[in-house]
Structure 1
Amino acid sequence: MNANLNFCQIVTFYLIVICVVLFYSGEKEQPETVERFYTVNDVKKIVEEKIKEIKESFSEEKNENEKKSDNFEDLKTDENETLPKRKVILIFTFMRSGSTFLGELFNNHEDAFYIFEPLHPFYKFGFSKTYLNERLKILKNNLNCDFEEQYDITIPWKSFKNDEMGLEETTDKRGDFVFRSKHRRLCAPPFCARDFSNNLHSCNDECGLVDLSLAKRVCQPLISVAKTIRFVEIELLQQMAEENNFDLKLIFLARDPRGILESRVKIYQKNENAPFFANEKNVKSVDEVCAKTRGILENIENSEWLKKRTLIVRYEDLAMEPQIKSAEILKFAGLEVNSKIF
């Protein structure tokens, strides 16, 4: 629009100048030394030449602007390629390996948004690859602060455990959130009228449904940390990280399988003082843990991408030297040690 306007103004200016010249040349008596008068054809030719010059000038300017525009598009592409990646952390291990203890490092950290077992609805499938894509989707969404599909904690545990409900019925879109009381941030303002972060048993009763849009806004500036068990397909995480622009770090918590077995037996044992006893089912499950652990270590060893991003933590080391190991873990995660941790 502006270019067309300037073009018209310039042409008009030249026409006015030529008309003025013709006017004065007609009014004044021409001296004998003047060899030529401007005729109508002369004026027409001059105007056409000037118009041609102006068009060529505008054409060159247009080409230059297009080049600049192309460069600008390249610049935008470069900017998109260098956008900062979202820092996310996945803690993965097996049941009764001490992951709840480890997770509290991040649950109490002011720069982390901790997510407790977002894949819990799939526990009944064990290590089966059933719903593997759904697991990856929920994991990706949670790490990206999208909390639309969560395990519905209002469902009675008995109904869930006995397979009385399907997977779709156990996911919630109303804001109940997975294990609400396991998340200190979700048990304090602005999610609750009062601070129940140190009284988590009252959190579910006293706090309303989680505002999922608010949870997303609170989560996004922080490092997302998800803790999960029974997820061993770590070879699939590179693609997930690259597709979602994640700076993903992995923490594999390993524990002596004998300790895992004893902890599992005790948790299901009604009498805590009863003699330790492991049935064939429990022993078989620990054999499975050993096999899966070997598979995880082999995957890490065979992948440079996983090697660079995975920290292997032994539960026994963390239990014996909690402050030293916690500091190492937080440093790996890119978080500072603060007073709330110890």
Structure 2
Amino acid sequence: MPSNLHPQHLNNPSLAPLLPGGVPRGLAKGAGLPRRYSACLVLMAVSVTIFLLHTVLLSDARNFSHVPLLGRTIQSWSAEEVDEEVLGAEQAEALAFQRRLLADEMIGYVYGRHGDNVTSLAGLVPELGGTPRRSVVLTTWRSGSTFVGDVLNSHPASWYHYEPLLDLDIVQVRGAPLAEKAQETLRQLLNCNYTGLDHYLEYGKKHVFLFTHNRRLWLQCEAHPNLCWRPDFLSSMCNLFPVQNMKVVRLRVRLAEKLLQDPTLPNVRILLLIRDPRGTMQSRRHREWCPGNPDCDDPALLCADLANDYYAAVRLSRKFPDRFKVMRYEDISLDPYRKVKEMLSFLQLNFHPAVRLFLDTHTKENVGGVSSTFRDSKVAPFHWRQDLSHRDVRRIQNVCVEAMKLWGYVPALSAAHQLEFKPLAKFKLK
């Protein structure tokens, strides 16, 4: 076996033809073909074998997600079984590689556009004593946060805390007993401190999508699975990133004030994302985890939260005018380029060509399933008008009168009206 071939490849049936002795017998013997053709075919097979082995061994880290690791998965690998000195060297190598990647991503980035004194990448990198751009997108399930989160993740050098309260299950945090734990988890993650977040990390091992949405981290996890769940590695990796985004769908607005008051997070900015409750309820119907969970499938609870969030938003926008903002998902979808520019300006981020490319490729047509962010953005928020019966719409509207009025959503008056009316009106925080 070649010395540079990892043992993990031995267990992969798809690589069997590439290993020594793996040339099919029929090909090796010419399968009855004349000798000159047999020799040519063997020569071609050897050439392809060498090329593919080189590709497998030197390809980017994503390839390792498809290759069994000596019978183990990324989730089950135990770092305790690896020598600490070896781990330390591997971690140093991974961090050095990530520094180079981030430096490349930020080539040509223009600093100083947002009224601060940041003039270089070092001013934004925690490892170098800088203060990163920190943002929290606050909303509820099926309200456009996946799309908005992916917009932010398309910005260069972004670290993405994807739904860090997933381990709390299908509940909304409105107060005790969950509030304190939830607030502390968010505070720690925004400070790149993964120490003591055992429940969060254990949940992530079994539900890897908690990390896969953070694509820059996940590339490292695929390349270094024995590092992926180690708090010191995650903290060190996080501290390399100048842009740190988070989306939260389980915490109500009133409780987010604690983040804005935290002295360790002097620049964190919160974007409250609102969606028409009729669109939210229609979208939740397609999720198997929603039915039977009152915080998800009861429109009365959704709209009580929307109303309470409105009054909390009024107070926070007055108290933190530069650090708290509200946007409706429908407004972003109808005018994505202008609204994303507005959103990024609030978050002190540039409308980078990478963000424009994301919008160019994700807002024109529908591709993929219910969680896809490839959508015709002008149509996506309003599917409820066709998908919900007017009886269902009335049932939602009857328990959402206050919330819909506060947030500028117009009621449908009949089945015919529902199909042709404009459901949006203007709103403002009073």
Partner of 2:48: none
Conserved 8 A contact 2:139-2:145: yes
TM-score (normalised: structure 1): 0.56
**Partner residue of 1:96?**
142
1:123 corresponds, among 144, 148, 169, to: 169
Q: Distance in 2 between matches of 1:332 and 1:228?
A: 18
From the superposition, tell whether residues 218 and 109 of structure 1 become closer, same or farther in structure 2 (CA, over 3 Å): farther
Residues 183, 255 of structure 2: 8 Å contact kept: no
- Paired residue secondary structure (2:303): helix
Alignment: residue pair count = 222
Cα deviation code 1:133-190 (max 9, x no counterpart):
1111101000001123124246667xxxxxxxxxxxxxxxxxx7x712111111224x
- Please name the residue that 2:72 is paired with: none
Matched, 1:147 2:194: yes
- The correspondence for 1:112, drawn from 142, 148, 158, is 158
Measured in 1, the distance between the counterparts of 2:297 and 2:180 equals 27
8 Å contact 1:300–1:306 — kept in the other structure?
no
- 8 Å contact kept, 1:88–1:246: no
CA shift in 2, pair 1:281/1:134, >3 Å: closer
C-alpha separation in 2, matches of 1:121 and 1:153: 6
Contact (CA 8 Å) 1:251, 1:311: kept in 2 or not? yes
SS in 2 for 1:188: helix
- Gap regions ≥5 residues in structure 2: 1-128, 358-430
Aligned match of 2:310: 297
Q: Percent identity?
A: 21
CA distance in 2, matches of 1:133, 1:280: 22
Larger displacement relative to structure 2 (284-293 or 310-319): 284-293
What's the offset of the Cα at 1:86? Answer: 5.5
1:253 counterpart letter in structure 2: L
Cα deviations by residue, 1:27-73 (Å, 9 ceiling, x for unpaired):
xxxxxxxxxxxxxxxxxxxxxxxxxxxxxxxxxxxxxxxxxxxxxxx
Aligned residue for 1:114, secondary structure, equals strand
**Matched residues in 1 for 2:293 and 2:227: separation?**
43
1:266 matched to 2:316? The reply is no
Q: Please give the alpha-carbon distance, in whole angstroms, between the structure 2 residues aligned to 1:140 and 1:280.
A: 27
User: CA–CA distance in 2 between the matches of 1:280 and 1:215?
Assistant: 32
Contact 2:158-2:243 at 8 Å conserved across structures:
yes
Q: Is the 8 A contact 2:159 2:244 kept in 1?
A: yes
Q: Does 1:185 find its partner at 2:216?
A: yes
| Deviation digits for residues 203-232 of structure 1 (CA, Å, limit 9, x no counterpart) | xxx786245334323323423211111211
| Cα distance in 1, alignment partners of residues 179 and 293 from structure 2 | 28
Which TM-score applies when normalising by structure 2? 0.46
Asked whether the equivalents of residues 145 and 216 of structure 1 are also in contact (C-alpha less than 8 Å), the reply is yes
Matched to 1:108, the amino acid is: S
- The 5 A counterparts of 1:189-228 are 189=220, 191-193=221-223, 209-220=228-239, 221-228=241-248
Q: Distance in 2 between matches of 1:151 and 1:187?
A: 14
> How many angstroms does 1:323 deviate by?
1.9
Q: CA deviation at 1:114?
A: 1.3
Distance in 2, matches of 1:284 and 1:319, equals 24
Aligned equivalents of 1:239, 1:260: Cα separation in 2:
26
- Change over 3 Å in CA distance of 1:120–1:84 after alignment to 2: same
1:336 aligns with 350
CA distances 1:274-315 after superposition (whole Å, capped 9, x unpaired): xxxx99968962222222122122122234224432221111
SS at match of 2:298: helix
RMSD in angstroms over aligned alpha carbons?
3.3
1:320 aligns with 2:321: no
Distance 1:84 1:156 in 2: 34
